[in-house]
Amino acid sequence: MKQHRLAAAIALVGLVLSGCDQKAATVELKTPAQKASYGIGLNMGKSLAQEGMNDLDPKAVALGIEDAIGKQKQKLTDEELTEAFTFLQKRSEEQAVKLSEETLKAGKKFLEDNGKREGVVTTKSGLQYEVVKKADGAQPKATDVVTVHYEGKLTDGTVFDSSIQRGSPIDLPVNGVIPGWVEALQLMHVGEKIKLYIPSELAYGAQSPSPTIPANSVLVFDLELLAIKNPNQAGDEPQAPAKN
């Protein structure tokens, strides 16, 4: 988290806060500008919370904006502000490392326990799956394009992506997705449904592809293979579990 990024986020939050009354109940959200202002504050608040910045003082943020807009003398020196930003950046990085380590440890324990359940198959790579609905259709190759329905979750059940919820299957190249999917799709038959448990090293590893998927996460998918298509027939649908 760069200093200028943090400062910009705080500034935007402050702009919203400084234009509002002290009591949220008195704030009107009727005009497009008012709604957009609220949206800016909401999005920035969520972003800051994800950065571990959930202890910011809204009144102090508003005070800084008021001083800047009113061209008042700043109440803290540039050196003091730099020190504060550096502290918050370091804290955020430390929290990210801690979360990553905790997620990795929890994921290994989850897979260890899950692999002992009846019906769960663990492959040589560490990928785990269980067949929900068996079928005898064709099996895709790495060079094929397939049509699938899926829902991706974290091990705590949090859904991060779902073609099922969108009500629209997607087409994707077998070799254009994360390693766990590449392996799993080639084990499946058209018409088959499986429950897939992907170790972090076969997913996104130590990288976090989005705020909803922490680094080192084990990913759980409900996956249905609907068809194998000619590569030239593939559409432009998003590749949810795409490679980095």
Catalytic residues: 150, 160-161, 178, 204, 221
Count the neighbouring beta carbons within 10 Å of the beta carbon of residue 222: 16
Burial class (CB in 10 A: 0-12, 13-18, 19+), 28: exposed
Residue type, 141: K
SS (H, E, C) 169-190: CEEEEHHHECHHHHHHHHHCCC
Strand partners, 173: 145
Cα(25)–Cα(236) distance, integer angstroms:
45
Query: Do residues 208 and 199 touch, judged by C-beta distance below 8 A?
Result: no
